[in-house]
Amino acid sequence: MTGVLILDKPAGFTSFDAVAKTRRLCGEKKCGHTGTLDPMATGVMTVLLGGATRFAALLPDHDKAYTAVFQLGRITDTLDVTGTVLETRPVTATRADVEAALAAFRGEITQIPPMYSAVSVGGQRLYQLARQGVEIERPARRVTVQTLTLTQADEAAHTYTIAVECSAGTYIRTLIGDLGTQLGCGAVLTALRRTRANGFPETQAVTLDRLAEAAAQGTAESLLLPLDRALTAYPALTVTPAQAARFRNGGALFTARLHGLQGAGLYRVYDPDGAFLGLGESDGGELLAVKRVFQEK
């Protein structure tokens, strides 16, 4: 079973748990995801199965979108409600104060990854160190927040909801924690839903219950999308039968004989019948090298 499953991850599941259940339901040993979601988070998680797993590192880094709920007045070690409360503070900030503070987090901003994250520093995952009570210095990273909108507010409960569109690698927990620092009262993430990832919106996502139902009926494969649907950011090339055979065998193609080549970069390569062959890579020279050949297994 090969393809892409857009999974609607439920709360309480780690990304590993969600992939493990998908693997069991689909009966496919090769199975992996392209972007971690915290256990408390729900929403879009792209899962690759079978021969599609070989392309995991080649999927374009699309921007992502989230709906996040947070509460002012608390600070935890994880920056969300699952952590240990380190401090509580009085809240004087109003809705207007929150809206004004959000302006500083739009555009290109700097974030320091949270200790409770899957980032690797010096060969160790930060969350592994955090569980040992160890905190280390983390390098700051630049991320981009394209849109940041306040969508709901409960001033009495100090609870707010925001919609975020951002670059891959943006930590919403960190954004909330930094917002709380700017407001002077602290803030924790209380709920998070990813509404878009890898170019796929939540409307295309399948729940584990739906997958289980389809698996019981023997129709789970019908829920998968073709691999090349996740690669549409790359331009497409259609080659001749002879070129297709050469490409399948790992042979480079002469760029002068290819129609539609637009310079250096990755390309989706198709045979004359429209079958996806894999990804080719041009450095702007005479040859289109094989980056990855698509195989069902």
List, for residues 227-280, the tens digit of each pLDDT value.
999 999 999 999 999 999 999 999 999 999 998 898 899 999 999 999 999 999
Q: Provide φ and ψ at 35, rounded to 5°.
A: -170, 120
| pLDDT > 60? residue 100 | yes
pLDDT > 70: percent of the chain: 92
pLDDT of residue 113: 76
CA-based nearest residue to 192, from 291, 286, 79, 51: 79
The 10s digit of each residue's pLDDT in 127-149 is 665 566 656 666 788 999 999 99
pLDDT of residue 126: 62
Count Cα atoms within 13 angstroms, Cβ side, for 216: 6
Mean per-residue pLDDT, 169-178: 94
CA pair distance 26, 202, nearest whole angstrom: 21
Catalytic residue among 38, 80, 178, 228: 38
Domain at 234-293, CATH from 2.60.15.10, 3.30.70.1090, 3.30.420.40, 2.30.130.10: 2.30.130.10
Domain at 64-197, CATH from 3.30.2350.10, 3.40.50.720, 1.20.1050.10, 3.90.1150.10: 3.30.2350.10
Q: Quick one: pLDDT band at residue 210, thresholds 50, 70, 90?
A: very high
The 10s digit of each residue's pLDDT in 162-171 is 999 999 889 9
* Domain 3-62+199-229 of CATH type 3.30.2350.10: yes
Q: Give the chain's length.
A: 297
Computed over every residue of the chain, the mean pLDDT equals 92
In the chain, CATH 3.30.2350.10 covers 3-62+199-229, 64-197
Q: Quick one: pLDDT band at residue 72, thresholds 50, 70, 90?
A: very high
Q: Quick one: pLDDT band at residue 86, thresholds 50, 70, 90?
A: very high
The whole-model pTM stands at 0.89
| pLDDT > 60? residue 115 | no
pLDDT of residue 128: 64
Asked about 38 being catalytic, the answer comes back as yes
